[in-house]
Structure 1
Amino acid sequence: HVVVHLEGEFPAPTTISVRRGTRLVDLLDHIPVDPEIANTAGIHIRRPLVARQQKESLERSLDRLERTTMLALSGSTGESQIRVREAELMRQFVERARLVEPLGRVVVRSEEGLMNILLQEGDVIVLPTRTNVVHVSGEIQVPSAIMYTPGMTARKAIAQAGGFTQRAATNGVLVVRPSGEIVIGDLGAPIYPGDEVLVMPAVDRKIFQNAIDISQILYHLAVAASVIVRLR
Structure 2
Amino acid sequence: MRNLKTLGVLLGLLTGFALPNAQALETQLLDKNESTEIPRSNVPVFGQSLFQGAFKDQPFSGFNPDYRITVGDQINLQLWGAYSFSATLAVDPQGNIFVPEVGPVHVAGVKNGELNDFVLRHVKSVFKKNVRAYANLEASQPVKVFVTGYVKNPGLYNGYSSDSILYYLDSAGGIDRDSGSFIDVKVVRGDQLLQSVNLYNFLTKGSMPALQLRNGDTIVIGARNGAVSIEGAVQQAAEIEFNGPYTQLGEMLLVTKPDPQANFARITQVIDDQQQASYLPLEEALNTVLYPGARVELVRDNDIKSISVSVSGELDGPASYVLPYGATLEDLLSQLQYRGNADQSAVQLYRKSVAKKQRAALERSLDALQMEVLTRQPNTELEKGAQSENAAMIQKFIAEARKAHPRGQVVLANNPNAGTMLLEDGDRLVVPLKNSTVSVVGEVIFPTSLVFNARHTLENYIEMAGGFSNNANQDELVILHLDGTISRVKKRKFDNRLKDILRPGDEIMVMPEVRSSELQVTKDVTEILYRIAVGTAAVLSF
Question: Is 1:26 aligned to residue 305 of structure 2?
Answer: no
For the residue of structure 2 that corresponds to 1:16, the secondary structure is: strand
Following the alignment from structure 2 to structure 1, what is the Cα–Cα distance between the partners of residues 380 and 407? 39
For the residue of structure 2 that corresponds to 1:146, the secondary structure is: strand
The residue aligned with 1:150 is 454
Contact persistence 2:350–2:407 (CA under 8 A): yes
The residue aligned with 1:199 is 510
For the residue of structure 2 that corresponds to 1:2, the secondary structure is: strand
Following the alignment from structure 1 to structure 2, what is the Cα–Cα distance between the partners of residues 157 and 110? 28
Alignment coverage as a number of residue pairs: 229
Deviation at 1:150, TM superposition (A): 2.2
Give the aligned residue type for 2:320: T
Q: More relative contact order in 1 or in 2 (CA 8 Å, sep 6+)?
A: 1
CA RMSD in angstroms, aligned pairs only: 2.1
TM-score using structure 1 length: 0.90
Following the alignment from structure 1 to structure 2, what is the Cα–Cα distance between the partners of residues 31 and 209? 48
Unaligned runs of 5+ in 2: 1-305
Contact persistence 1:54–1:224 (CA under 8 A): no
Following the alignment from structure 2 to structure 1, what is the Cα–Cα distance between the partners of residues 392 and 520? 13
For the residue of structure 1 that corresponds to 2:376, the secondary structure is: helix
Q: CA, structure 1 residues 154+122, in 2 after alignment: closer, same or farther (shift >3 Å)?
A: farther
Deviation at 1:83, TM superposition (A): 1.1
Percent identity over the alignment?
28
Following the alignment from structure 2 to structure 1, what is the Cα–Cα distance between the partners of residues 364 and 344? 36
Structure (1/2) with the larger strand percentage: 2
The residue aligned with 1:221 is 532
The residue aligned with 2:364 is 60
The residue aligned with 1:106 is 410
Following the alignment from structure 1 to structure 2, what is the Cα–Cα distance between the partners of residues 38 and 118? 23
The residue aligned with 2:288 is none
Following the alignment from structure 2 to structure 1, what is the Cα–Cα distance between the partners of residues 405 and 528? 13
Contact persistence 2:378–2:387 (CA under 8 A): no
Query: What does 1:78-157 align with in structure 2 at a 5 Å threshold?
Result: 78-110=382-414, 115-116=418-419, 117-157=421-461
Question: Is 1:183 aligned to residue 487 of structure 2?
Answer: yes
Following the alignment from structure 1 to structure 2, what is the Cα–Cα distance between the partners of residues 135 and 13? 31
Contact persistence 2:444–2:467 (CA under 8 A): yes
The residue aligned with 1:3 is 308
Structure (1/2) with the larger helix percentage: 1
Following the alignment from structure 1 to structure 2, what is the Cα–Cα distance between the partners of residues 24 and 4? 10
Following the alignment from structure 2 to structure 1, what is the Cα–Cα distance between the partners of residues 396 and 380? 20
Contact persistence 1:82–1:207 (CA under 8 A): no
Q: Larger radius of gyration, structure 1 or 2?
A: 2
Unaligned runs of 5+ in 1: none
Question: Is 1:50 aligned to residue 361 of structure 2?
Answer: no
Give the aligned residue type for 2:475: N
Q: CA, structure 1 residues 146+8, in 2 after alignment: closer, same or farther (shift >3 Å)?
A: same
